[in-house]
Structures are given as C-alpha cells and as structure tokens.
C-alpha cells in the first residue's frame, strides 16, 4: 500500500528516500549540521533534486563534509574542485563553503557545539506547522531571518533567510510535513 507523503518528492527516488528518512528529523550532530549547510548553500538557485543527485559527489569532493579539513582548503584545492564535474562548479559557493567551515569552527569554540548555537533560534524546540496543502508552505520566518542575520554577522556566506529556512526544515527545527503525511507524526515523535 502506498504511503501518504508530501507531494514534493514526486517520483524521484532519492527525494523520496530523503523525505522518508531525513527531512524534518531533528539534527543534533555537528557533522550533519555542516553537511546540510553545504548542501543548502549550493542549492541556491537550483532544484533540490539536482543537489540530491550530486550529494555523494559532494561528500567525496568535500572530504565527507569534514569542516576541520575544509577549513584548511587552499587555492589549489579550489582549482581542483572547479574541475570536478560531479559537483556544482561555482567558485563563489566553493569559497563560501571554506569560509563557512572556518566560521563553523569558531561557533563551536564559543558555544561548545554548533548544535547548541543553532537550536537557540527555535528555543531548542521543533516548530510544528500544521500544513494541509503545499501552497500553505512558507519560504522564510522570523526565526530564519534572525538566523540569517546572525550567521552573516559571524562570517557565513550563502545563508540568506530562504536558505536558512530550508536548512531549518532539513535539520528538523521546523516540521513542514503536511499533516496527512506519514512522516508528520513520526518527526514530532523523533524529537521526544
């Protein structure tokens, strides 16, 4: 029997897997936070399916999203990444990823973990929306506005409010599954 799910994955296998296992699940692992920041920043102006199709290539190219290693990338590494056909070859986004890794480490030093820092924007709780139709979905919120402003102040790039909101959805800080989606209640339960 077909499960009732949000309509956005459509028939895209990777999107269905991502929707069914990751999207909206609360993240408390700094490595996973950084992965989502990288993927969401590269997604700016592109479809999410494009990113999902290249996710494993990104993982390989960016040292398994290890922010400590990425923070040390030099110009030679940027040139190598610009030659990698498996990823999005956007020099601004590649350089932003390196700068974001450095800023990420600084946040960890200040707060003990990036997780402790980032969840303050929702007071440590998942914001649960009760969407009945995909048309009710929003692209930003006061929380993503505040997050974007603070991340930019700390030197992060490609972290506009829309990107921050998408990140919040991915990291389970917001539950935007439709109420009749089988994942809606599962994601709420995963926070407990």
Q: What pLDDT, on a 0 to 100 scale, did the predictor assign at position 1?
A: 67
Give pLDDT tens digits for 137-159. 999 999 999 999 999 999 999 99
This prediction has a pTM of: 0.95
Q: What pLDDT, on a 0 to 100 scale, did the predictor assign at position 2?
A: 77
Handedness of CA 29, 14, 151, 168 (dihedral sign): negative
Q: What pLDDT, on a 0 to 100 scale, did the predictor assign at position 191?
A: 77
Q: What pLDDT, on a 0 to 100 scale, did the predictor assign at position 102?
A: 98
Cβ atoms within 10 Å, residue 158: 21
Domain limits, the chain = 13-191
Query: For residues 47 and 44, what is the distance between their CA atoms, to the nearest angstrom?
Result: 8
**Residue that the structure tokens 């989606």 belong to:** 181
Q: What pLDDT, on a 0 to 100 scale, did the predictor assign at position 122?
A: 98
Extract the residue ranges of the chain whose pLDDT is less than 70.
1, 192
**What average pLDDT does the chain have?**
96
Which top CATH class is 13-191? mainly alpha
- DSSP conformation class of 8: T
- What is the Cα 94 distance to its own chain's centre? 16
């Amino acid at each position: 029997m077909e499960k009732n799910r949000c309509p956005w994955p459509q028939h895209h296998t990777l999107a269905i897997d991502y929707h069914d296992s990751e999207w909206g699940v609360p993240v408390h692992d700094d490595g996973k936070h950084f992965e989502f920041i990288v993927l969401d920043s590269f997604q700016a102006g592109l479809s999410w399916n494009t990113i999902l199709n290249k996710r494993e290539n990104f993982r390989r190219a960016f040292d398994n999203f290890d922010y400590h290693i990425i923070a040390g990338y030099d110009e030679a590494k940027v040139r190598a990444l610009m030659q990698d056909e498996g990823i999005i070859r956007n020099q601004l986004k590649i350089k932003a990823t390196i700068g974001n890794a450095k800023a990420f480490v600084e946040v960890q030093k200040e707060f003990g973990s990036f997780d402790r820092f980032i969840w303050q924007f929702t007071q440590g709780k998942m914001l649960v929306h009760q969407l009945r139709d995909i048309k009710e979905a929003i692209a930003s919120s006061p929380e993503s506005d505040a997050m974007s402003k603070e991340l930019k102040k700390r030197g992060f790039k490609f972290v506009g409010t829309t990107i921050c909101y998408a990140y919040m959805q991915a990291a389970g800080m917001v539950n935007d599954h439709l109420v009749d989606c089988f994942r809606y209640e599962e994601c709420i339960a995963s926070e407990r």
